[in-house]
Amino acid sequence: MNATCLKRNGMFMTMESYKQCPPFNPDDCVPGTVQFDKDGCCQICETSNCVRVKNITRLHVKDCISIEDVEVASCTGHCDDGSRYSMEKNTMMHNCSCCQEDKFSLQQVILQCANSSKIPHDYIYVESCKCTPTKCEEYTEKKTPEQFKEHYLKNQELEEIMARLGERDHRRDRDDYYLQKKGYKGWH
């Protein structure tokens, strides 16, 4: 709250004003950057959006392992996604984007196999990442109010069943199912 003293018609009045904080999601922040603004009212941070993350590891391919440590990179972060109701079309409109590689290169590493042979192996190295517009998955496609209600009830029923089964990673499993359905193999 902020109080201001005003003079009107020869009389002093106190006027109160309240600051409204912008939407804040700590998941969108670079770790360790969450703080309060200069007024001490609202939380702010440095947003991460879509960034490249590097990791040093040994590559494992079947019964072979890289002779040396290898730098691999991946993309992580949040992109602008959302859904809104369109009065004109009487349906939900969706905007989906994905944090993914923008530029990449093929790198080669030597693998040592269990039978003592050494073989070259090419792998994809992510050079840069960006938010890329993508088609929303089928469970978020446009729906009329009736279809939306039916979809919501089915999804709610599925969530209740999964909760009863104690499946902690059912969302990941569901996403893997949709990726496999579209022909993606995933990381193995």
pLDDT tens-digit readout, 115-159:
999 999 999 999 988 888 888 765 444 455 566 567 667 666 766
Amino acid at 151: H
> Dihedral of CA 46/50/56/58: which sign?
positive
* pLDDT for residue 21: 84
Q: Which residue has the higher pLDDT, 67 or 166?
A: 67
Q: Which residue has the higher pLDDT, 173 or 126?
A: 126
DSSP-assigned beta bridge partners for residue 64: 61, 113
Q: Which residue has the higher pLDDT, 118 or 33?
A: 118
pTM of the model: 0.47
Quick count: other Cβ atoms within 10 Å of Cβ 75? 20
pLDDT band at 85 (very low <50, low <70, confident <90, very high): confident
* pLDDT for residue 137: 66
d(CA 148, CA 159): 16
Any idea how long the chain is? Answer: 188
